Structure 1
Amino acid sequence: MVEEVVKSEEQKIIDSNRFVGVRSDGEEDDQPEDGEIVGGDGDTMSSSSSSRPGTAVVQHPFEHSWTFWYDNPSNKAKQTAWASNLRSIYTFSTVEEFWSLYNNIHRPSKLASGTDLYCFKNKIVPTWEDPVCANGGNWTMIFLKYKSDTCWLYTLLAMIGEQFDHGDEICGAVVNVRAKQERISLWTKTAANESAQMSIGKQWKELLDHNENIGFIFHEDAQKLGKNAKIKYTM
């Protein structure tokens, strides 16, 4: 199912669109940080423009707007508050904007170790303390190093394409790039709603054709117990 989405949506890519260190406020940033989003060929993007002057571009809006966030690994040793490392990169609301951005983002396999890359519904900050996330939790898949690229894309497509029966429960997704492995987590907002979480976990595994068991942890437990937090649901 996801492969069909990929094939159909790729035809909607606007070849002339490029993102080069674009900040969430629309200003250019000429100094991308290690592992951050960079332009694929150095060209500057003209938002919602066509390769032929005077030609209007048809936009295909998503149900929700989404924001990419970046956690710079080089700053982690310098900051006392984890959330202070987060940087909002860009908010997109159409198919065309997503593909123009995604095609110029480093895949997880190309990101620096220690990097966290998030894609969350707009206005939701990817932290445990965010009011929408506070009572939530997350499903997590673990991959060998350099093996999460395709599953990261398919997770994004399933999420922004509203392919989950309990789509209102979805907050966003994050890929954590580490020295020996990569993890993709799907964040939801009501951890205590077991039926909804189990449905999301099952659909996620099916969409990604993932055969390994995955676990769900409450954010509240993770915040209090850290790595000692116990898995509440298994799929």
Structure 2
Amino acid sequence: MVVEDTQKPNVTTEDLNNNPRAVEDEEDLEEGEIHDDDDNDDSAAASKAPAALARNPHPLENSWTFWFDNASAKSKQADWGISIRPIYTFSTVEEFWSIYNNILHPSKLAVGADFHCFKNKIEPKWEDPICANGGKWTMSFQKAKSDTPWLYTLLAMIGEQFDHGDEICGAVVNVRNRQEKIALWTKNASNEAAQVSIGKQWKEFLDYNDTIGFIFHEDAMKLDRGAKNKYVI
């Protein structure tokens, strides 16, 4: 799958896929945490990194925030949302990669963890004013098979690849016992044309062949797992 930026020439496919700093060692990281090199011997090199990134940054159309929901902090369903906390906000291609390369990917997260990426100032909660009237498309993956689809989803969002990009609130990957799920949240659930367009494009970006469904947040709040898909692709 190739993610191309046709709407914002200042953020090209090459920019989005050019990983400026590959970090291999993630074994000692806490779940969802950003790698922090405290070695004083590297302080000189570290001090040069921000200056290098600042020379020719590639700004994104929107700023985005990563959020992490720690599985160990969830004691019961009533506590949902209490443990969610923002990790980092980024607004350039370079900032995205510096964060992405230093956090654990879905396959390395503990069962029960939720990792979000939402437009800045939108909280990944049903109660958020921007999300309240929205809904979500959901894709399911086999255990430890969502890393690449998660990355492609992020690139499509921050690269403004969706025709109805203004409808996008953000995305979340849920790590569970038997599978992993990625959900794409949108603003106006009742706008069927926009939601169907987003769902079709998302499937194309990820080359996903299974059927996906769209659930209204309002139905999910009232019916929980009894909520039914309003749109299906």
TM-score of the superposed pair, with normalisation by structure 2: 0.85
Distance 2:141 2:66 in 1: 21
RMSD: 2.7
Task: Give 1:7 deviation, angstroms.
Answer: 6.7
Query: Where does residue 103 of structure 2 map in the other structure?
Result: 105
Pairwise CA distance, 1:84 = 1.1
Aligned length: 218
The answer for the alignment partner of 2:191 in structure 1 is 193
In the TM superposition, residue 39 of structure 1 has moved relative to its aligned partner by 1.5
Equivalent position of 1:152 in the other structure: 150
1:109-128 to structure 2, matched below 5 A, reads: 109-128=107-126
Unaligned runs of 5+ in 1: 21-30
Matched position secondary structure for 1:225: helix
Distance in structure 1 (CA, Å) of the matches to 2:22 and 2:177:
35
* Cα 1:68–1:11 shift into 2, 3 Å: closer
Counterparts of residues 84-99 of structure 1 (less than 5 Å): 84-99=82-97
- The aligned residue for residue 49 of structure 1 is 51
- Displacement of 1:8 in angstroms is 1.5
Residue identity in the other structure for 1:8: E
Q: Deviations over 1:151-190 (max 9, x none)?
A: 0000000001000000000000000000110000000000
CA distance in 2, matches of 1:82, 1:131: 17
Give the unaligned 5+ runs of structure 2: 6-11
Q: Distance in 2 between matches of 1:193 and 1:115?
A: 31
Q: Which moved more, 1:143-152 or 1:5-14?
A: 5-14
Select which of 83, 92, 101 maps to 2:81. 83
**Which has the bigger relative contact order, CA under 8 A and spacing at least 6?**
2
1:135 partner amino acid: N
- 2:61 maps to which of 41, 60, 63: 63
Q: Does the C-alpha gap of structure 1 residues 56 and 97 become closer, same or farther in structure 2, counting only changes over 3 Å? A: closer
Distance apart, 1:15 and its partner CA = 3.2
Do residues 9 (structure 1) and 15 (structure 2) align?
Answer: yes
* Alpha-carbon distance between aligned partners in 2 of 1:80 and 1:189, rounded to the nearest angstrom: 24
The residue that corresponds to 1:205 in the other structure is: 203
- Whichever residue aligns with residue 211 of structure 1, its letter is N
Q: Cα gap change, 1:148/1:12 in structure 2, threshold over 3 Å: closer, same or farther?
A: closer
Letter in 2 for 1:104: N
**For residue 8 of structure 2, what is the aligned residue in structure 1?**
none
Q: Is the 8 A contact 2:67 2:85 kept in 1?
A: yes
- Return the alpha-carbon distance in structure 2 between the equivalents of residues 155 and 200 of structure 1: 12
**Structure 1 letter corresponding to 2:21:** D
Q: What secondary structure, in the 3-state scheme, does the structure 2 residue paired with 1:174 have?
A: strand
CA distance in 2, matches of 1:42, 1:62: 29
**Equivalent pair of 2:68/2:116 in contact (CA under 8 Å):** yes
Aligned equivalents of 2:188 and 2:165: distance in 1?
A: 12
Partner Cα distance (2:119, 2:80) in 1: 20
